[in-house]
Structure 1
Amino acid sequence: MKTATFPSVRADVELREAIDRRRAEAALLAGGLAAIARTQKAGNGIPADDVIAKLEARLASARQALADKATQNLSHRGTNLDAARHQRENDYR
């Protein structure tokens, strides 16, 4: 009996990319699960509520700084506009 040979199958590029993406996702998931297991075993994890509270505080601080900067820029522009109007009025007197 002769050994049968199958012709090589060429996979579509999109199929190969999908397979590679799934392998990468599986590796990422496995690494994450391993990290969780190590943290649980060591007992040195940080509660999610604490992490979220810190992130929310940082976000609120950043938003406040942005609002303060915007207010400062608007008041500065108003001062410049008032000075320009005053100067223009004086030029025509």
Structure 2
Amino acid sequence: MDKPVLLAFYLICVTVGTSLKCLTCHLRVKADRCRRGFGVCIAQDDEMCMSLKIYRGEELLVAYMECQKFCKAARVKRKGRIYVHSCCARNYCNGKI
């Protein structure tokens, strides 16, 4: 291999190796594993790991996980449901239900 190709490969590996990794799941319920969109996203500079959990009372209805720009934690009650939007900045920190 050429030296420039090796250097480019090394830079890609180093960059990906130090990036924040978040779990993705576009449909998850507590009684089951991820049903749609399971994987890993690599957060960009202005992104964090995000999870959105929707509850009815104490019962978890559904969860959504992804990398998100300008993530902001929030807790909102609307029409008998509680929406909990959480952000974190450690590898795979958004996977716990």
The question of a shared fold, defined as TM-score above 0.5 by the shorter chain, is answered with: no
Using structure 1 for the length normalisation, give the TM-score: 0.25
Higher gyration radius (CA): 1
Quick check: which one's helix share is greater?
1
Quick check: which one's strand share is greater?
2
